[in-house]
């Protein structure tokens, strides 16, 4: 049987951008193909030119870009001859007929890609109005059908909603509906699951695979997540700095890689089979020297788990919103954190895991005094003296501000674009009147060197750094006051695998050298497995299971924990995701949110399974019943 011609063929593509009096080559002499009905994954680190290739195919790259080469689109619906997309006028009729109609695109961040001023239905309908002359009633029916296909139970309601009314996963589904409304021959998916938690990510992956099969379309999957590639792709193209390092079938790339670069990418991914003490292998190591850092290296001698540094007891937090109506509205109460209790031991790393919306970030804000709790108690142990975190005032509050620091999820928005690196790191030292100006400058220089950055970085602004470098600056800022407890809220979720490995290794080294204690918040259990000593699993505002890392992640009791582990896409062809159980949004092994709502609060308690392993269950439950 003769093989069908390639749907899209890129030949000798080069894209460069002017920078002052020079040019940056984002893509260099790149050639690749996309076969009809197949998924081709374009893999590489941030800055490898993946998104530039996607935008160039769509014809939406910046006008200042210099583009050479050919992009041949061989769509039977356009005729028998391939069309060179680069030769079409940028805003001509032919490219506008192809863009959004025969080639659709899912953008990386649906919140910024959707207009906040128009409803979801308006924005999906826009593509139909441009490319389809059917009556408005038929177009609305098609929109509702597509929203239903991507998993919305009430498409008519979603059609009338605005983007800010939808969660991240729901916005991504709406973006997929918008890209597929005209039934394109090629779908370009640019990081379609970035920053989504693992259960929502599994739903999106299943959705993409089902829709690709249903519409018989080809897909260009742009990603840095190798676990997604093994579960979705037929062919893989590995790019580095705008050049192809290796390409082939997914079986060839993952079982028989030849080039060192794809081998290095795979070695940088944390996985559950790593022996204790084994380090991740980033493509570029960070030279870390914490020996002179703030005189803190002696703290590394504190034995792990010697005492409790933070005790959280029965903390709850609810939010009240108004139901909109013409005459006012009733108040709706959402319980974000529900009777949460746990201890963090000095010198340990406690992982806090759960999907988006379970209350992880709200809890971290309560511990940082960014949000006030409705009830409960939080005690910080200042070497024998307990400080009431929720009610601290004056000197105690000032001490807490220095002893507890936070590393935020987004290294872009958490750093002021108007301050240099020197100002960002020294701000806390100035607020708390640490030393004179020269002492503060020396401290900032030591922190920058510790993070593996050059001292020339002090006079630069955050926008001139990569994502990994910005996260290192955020860590340096958190370390400036010599904290004892660091709360890390998804510190690597927005980073590609190699930079993620750098940051995780850096944080482990600092913990060992400086005796730091971490509350490490993440939805990625593979990352938590690498970083944490103990793990607490949070669902619907409650801690449903807590215990040593090796027990929770290898012998979990709670069905929700099992589902979280099963939803992690790993870069192993022999361990694919089971989409039949992960694709639906309901039913966490019989333990859903409804269980926590319907059961009486006094009927729930943590059953002790020994070795510090607690699981939320009905009171007086038989441990054997849980294990069965």
Confidence check: pLDDT of 603 > 80: no
pTM score over 0.95:
no
Confidence check: pLDDT of 446 > 50: yes
In a domain? residue 431: no
320 secondary structure, DSSP code: E
Q: How far apart are CA 265 and CA 223, in angstroms?
A: 12
pLDDT band of 404, cuts 50, 70, 90: very high
Same domain, 383 and 500: yes
Same domain, 174 and 206: no
- What does pLDDT average to over the chain? 85
Confidence check: pLDDT of 627 > 80: no
99 secondary structure, DSSP code: B
In a domain? residue 71: yes
pLDDT band of 540, cuts 50, 70, 90: confident
Model confidence pLDDT, tens digit, residues 374-397? 999 999 999 889 999 999 999 999
Instruction: With beta carbons less than 8 A apart as the criterion, state whether 521 and 487 touch.
Output: yes
In a domain? residue 433: no
Instruction: With beta carbons less than 8 A apart as the criterion, state whether 151 and 207 touch.
Output: yes
Q: How far apart are CA 596 and CA 541, in angstroms?
A: 9
Q: Strands 534-539 and 375-382, how do they pair? A: unpaired
CA dist list (Å): 438 to 407, 421, 577 = 26, 16, 55
Instruction: With beta carbons less than 8 A apart as the criterion, state whether 555 and 541 touch.
Output: no
Find the mean pLDDT for residues 292-306.
50
Same domain, 174 and 199: no
Instruction: Mean pLDDT check: name the lowest of 209-213, 275-279, 409-413.
Output: 409-413
Model confidence pLDDT, tens digit, residues 75-113? 888 877 899 999 999 888 899 899 989 999 998 776 678
Q: Angle at the Cα of 157 (from 151 to 163), degrees rounded to 5? A: 80
Find the mean pLDDT for residues 351-366.
88
Model confidence pLDDT, tens digit, residues 564-597? 888 888 888 888 887 776 555 444 433 444 445 4
Q: How many CB atoms lie within 10 A of CB 551?
A: 18
Alpha helices (H) in 116-197, listed in sequence order: 120-131, 136-149, 155-159, 168-180
Same domain, 77 and 213: yes
Q: Angle at the Cα of 467 (from 51 to 511), degrees rounded to 5? A: 145
Model confidence pLDDT, tens digit, residues 146-197? 998 888 889 999 999 998 888 777 888 898 899 989 999 999 998 888 767 7
Instruction: Mean pLDDT check: name the lowest of 267-276, 418-427, 505-514, 613-622.
Output: 613-622
Last residue in a domain, options 153, 181, 209: 181
pLDDT: which is higher, 199 or 93? 93
Same domain, 146 and 262: no
Same domain, 229 and 161: no
What is the predicted pLDDT for the residue at 623?
62
Report CA dihedral (241, 243, 249, 253) to the nearest 10 degrees: -50
CATH at 56? 3.40.50.300
* First-to-last C-alpha distance (Å) of the chain: 52
Instruction: With beta carbons less than 8 A apart as the criterion, state whether 13 and 31 touch.
Output: yes
What is the predicted pLDDT for the residue at 72?
95
Find the mean pLDDT for residues 295-321.
72
Distance of CA 101 to the CA centre of its chain: 30
pLDDT band of 401, cuts 50, 70, 90: very high
Instruction: With beta carbons less than 8 A apart as the criterion, state whether 178 and 152 touch.
Output: no
In a domain? residue 120: yes
Same domain, 326 and 377: yes
Close Cβ partners of 352 (under 8 Å, ≥ 6 residues apart): 360, 363, 364, 519, 520, 521, 522, 535, 536, 538
Q: What length does the chain have?
A: 628
What is the percent of the chain with per-residue pLDDT over 70, rounded to a whole number?
88
213 secondary structure, DSSP code: H
Confidence check: pLDDT of 282 > 80: yes
- Enclosing domain of residue 254: 1-102+185-266
533 secondary structure, DSSP code: S
What is the predicted pLDDT for the residue at 305?
47
Q: Give me the residue label for tokens 């195919």.
A: 57
Same domain, 552 and 403: yes
Same domain, 17 and 53: yes
Selection from 542, 565, 486, 115 nearest residue 309 by Cα: 486
pLDDT: which is higher, 325 or 621? 621
Alpha helices (H) in 463-592, listed in sequence order: 467-479, 497-514, 525-531, 549-552, 559-566, 579-582
What is the predicted pLDDT for the residue at 599?
52
Q: Please count the structural domains in the chain.
A: 3
Same domain, 336 and 200: no
Q: Give me the residue label for tokens 């399974």.
A: 609
What is the predicted pLDDT for the residue at 326?
47
Same domain, 203 and 167: no
In a domain? residue 491: yes
Q: What is the side-by-side order of every strand in the sheet holding 534-539?
A: 404-407, 485-489, 517-522, 349-353, 534-539, 542-548, 614-618, 604-608
Instruction: With beta carbons less than 8 A apart as the criterion, state whether 376 and 390 touch.
Output: yes
What is the predicted pLDDT for the residue at 329?
55
Q: Give me the residue label for tokens 């996309």.
A: 34
In a domain? residue 616: yes
Find the mean pLDDT for residues 543-550.
92
Q: How far apart are CA 430 and CA 428, in angstroms?
A: 5
Instruction: With beta carbons less than 8 A apart as the criterion, state whether 71 and 83 touch.
Output: no
Same domain, 401 and 260: no
């Amino acid at each position: 049987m003769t093989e069908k011609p390639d749907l899209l063929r890129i030949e000798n593509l080069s894209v460069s951008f002017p920078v002052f009096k020079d040019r940056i080559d984002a893509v260099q002499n790149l050639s690749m193909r996309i076969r009809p009905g197949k998924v081709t994954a374009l893999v590489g680190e941030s800055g490898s030119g993946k998104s530039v290739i996607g935008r160039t195919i769509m014809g939406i790259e910046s006008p200042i870009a210099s583009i050479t080469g050919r992009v041949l689109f061989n769509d039977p619906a356009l005729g028998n001859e391939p069309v060179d997309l680069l030769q079409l006028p940028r805003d001509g009729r032919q490219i506008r007929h192809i863009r959004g109609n025969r080639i659709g695109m899912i953008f990386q961040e649906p919140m910024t890609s959707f207009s906040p001023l128009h409803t979801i239905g308006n924005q999906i309908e826009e593509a139909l109005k441009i490319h389809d002359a059917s009556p408005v009633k038929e177009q609305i029916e098609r929109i509702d059908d597509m929203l239903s296909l991507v998993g919305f139970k009430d498409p008519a309601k979603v059609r009338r909603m605005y983007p800010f009314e939808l969660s991240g996963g729901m916005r991504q589904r709406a973006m997929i509906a918008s890209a597929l409304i005209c039934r394109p021959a090629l779908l370009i998916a640019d990081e379609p699951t970035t920053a989504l938690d693992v259960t929502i990510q599994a739903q999106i992956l299943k959705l993409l695979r089902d829709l690709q099969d249903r519409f018989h379309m080809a897909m260009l999957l742009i990603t840095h997540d190798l676990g997604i590639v093994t579960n979705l792709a037929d062919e893989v193209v590995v790019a580095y700095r705008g050049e192809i390092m290796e390409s082939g079938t997914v079986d060839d790339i993952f079982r028989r890689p030849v080039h060192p670069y794809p081998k290095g990418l795979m070695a940088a991914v944390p996985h559950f089979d790593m022996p204790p003490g084994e380090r991740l292998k980033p493509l570029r190591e960070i030279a870390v020297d914490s020996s002179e850092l703030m005189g803190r290296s002696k703290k590394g001698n504190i034995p792990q788990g010697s005492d409790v540094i933070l005790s959280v007891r029965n903390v709850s937090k609810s939010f009240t919103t108004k139901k909109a109506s013409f005459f006012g509205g009733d108040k709706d109460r959402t319980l974000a954190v529900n009777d949460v209790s746990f201890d963090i031991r000095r010198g340990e790393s406690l992982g806090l895991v759960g999907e988006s919306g379970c209350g992880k970030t709200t809890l971290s804000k309560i511990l940082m005094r960014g949000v006030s709790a409705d009830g409960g108690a939080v005690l910080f142990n200042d070497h024998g003296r307990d400080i009431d975190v929720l009610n601290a005032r004056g000197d105690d509050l000032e001490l807490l501000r220095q002893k507890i620091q936070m590393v935020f999820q987004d290294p872009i928005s958490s750093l002021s674009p108007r301050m240099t690196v020197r100002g960002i790191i020294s701000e806390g030292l100035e607020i708390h009147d640490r030393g004179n100006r020269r002492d503060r400058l020396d401290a900032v220089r030591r922190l920058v060197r510790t993070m593996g950055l050059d001292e020339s970085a002090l006079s630069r602004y955050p926008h001139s750094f990569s994502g990994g470098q910005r996260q290192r600056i955020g860590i340096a800022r958190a370390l400036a006051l010599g904290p004892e407890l660091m709360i890390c809220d998804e510190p690597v979720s927005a980073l590609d695998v190699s930079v993620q490995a750098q940051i995780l290794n850096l944080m482990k080294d600092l913990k060992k050298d400086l005796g730091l204690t971490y509350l490490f918040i993440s939805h990625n259990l593979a990352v938590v497995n690498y970083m944490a000593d103990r793990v607490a699993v949070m669902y619907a505002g409650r801690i449903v299971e807590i215990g040593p890392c090796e027990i929770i992640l290898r012998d979990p009791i709670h069905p929700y924990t099992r589902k979280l582990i099963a939803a992690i896409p790993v870069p192993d062809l022999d361990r694919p995701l089971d989409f039949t159980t992960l694709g639906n949004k309901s039913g966490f092994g019989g333990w859903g949110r409804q269980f926590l709502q319907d059961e009486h609060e006094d009927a729930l308690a943590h059953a002790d399974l020994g070795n510090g392993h607690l699981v939320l269950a009905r009171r007086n439950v038989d441990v054997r019943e849980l294990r069965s």
